[in-house]
Amino acid sequence: MSVAIRPVLASDWEAVHEIYVEGIETRQATFETEAPDWKRWDAGHRTDCRLAAHEGDRLLGWAALSPVSSRRVYSGVAEVSVYVAAGARGRGVGEALLRELIRCSEEAGVWTLQASVFPENAPSVRLHFKLGFRQVGVRERIARHHGVWRDTVILERRSLRVGVS
């Protein structure tokens, strides 16, 4: 597999949206029940850390960071999103994206990455642990998802380069 990672472009939106919808349909990737339009997605993600994994002309997945707060004190804290196309799962695409997202985040001055993952999404939990995230808690019955109360595992990765005194 020859996966290349590059920044997400506005022209990637159709494929990014399709992969997001596939993730929603699994009912294991997000509480969202429909994917946003480009304007809302664009506004909700940092512009400096948006990545697309592709093989030739085919987009295999995307990763992006969202600010956790508008407060300046939290400018170095971001939430991770990683989505992989159904046909590319289990091929290392998610790992390649998350590795590059970590590198990109540190280059952008981010000292803490956080993720909120359904505990049933074991591949995602394992991937985050593999790349240096630790579990900091479980939010029990945090929200209803398709009529069912769901928990989320809260994962965090502190940079070893940024924010170190």
State how many domains the chain has: 1
Question: Does 164 map to a domain?
Answer: no
Question: Which residue type is seen at 35?
Answer: A
pLDDT of residue 1: 56
Where in the sequence is the domain holding 104, given as residue range(s)? 4-158
Q: What angle do CA 47, 51, 52 make, to 5 degrees?
A: 135
Question: Does 47 map to a domain?
Answer: yes
18: part of which helix (H) or strand (E)?
Answer: helix 13-26
pLDDT along the chain (165 residues), means of 10: 89 96 94 94 95 95 96 95 95 96 97 97 96 98 96 97 85
pTM for the complete prediction? Answer: 0.94
Question: Does 163 map to a domain?
Answer: no
Between CA 23 and CA 17 the distance in angstroms is 10
CATH number at residue 142: 3.40.630.30
